Amino acid sequence: MHSLTHSGARAALDVAAVVARVLAVVLCVLVVVDSLDLGTLHTVLLDVNGFVSNLVPQSVSGLLVFRTPMGGAFRGDFALVAVALFVIDWLLARAAARI
C-alpha cells in the first residue's frame, strides 16, 4: 500500500510538471508570434492575447511589453510567466524523481 501511494504521488507530480511545461511552451510560442506582424491574423491574435492576459497574474500583467522591429510587440509579461512555469516544471520533476 505504501508503494502505491508513492507511485500515485509521483504520477500526480509528473502530470503537473508536464502541464506546467506545455503551458510554458505555449506562452513561448505566443511571445514569438506576438513579436511579428501577422496582417489579417492580428484580430485573432488580439483575442488570444486578451484571454491569456486574464490568466497572467495582475502584478506582472503588461510588464515589459515593447514594440518590435518586426511589427509586433514583445510580451515580457508572457515571457516572465513562461519562465516561472519552466521553473515550476523543473521543481515538480525533481520532487517526483525523489519519491
Domain positions in the chain are 2-98
Q: Is 60 helix (H, G, I), strand (E, B) or coil?
A: coil
16 vs 31, 77, 93, CA distance in Å?
A: 23, 22, 9
Q: Would you write out the chain's pLDDT as a tens digit for each of its 99 residues? A: 456 577 888 999 999 999 999 999 999 999 999 999 888 888 889 899 999 999 999 999 989 999 999 989 999 999 999 999 999 999 999 999 998
Q: Could you tell me the pTM of the whole model?
A: 0.86
User: What is the C-alpha separation between 32 and 79, in angstroms, rounded?
Assistant: 10
Name the percent of the chain in helix, strand, coil, to the closest 5: 75, 10, 20
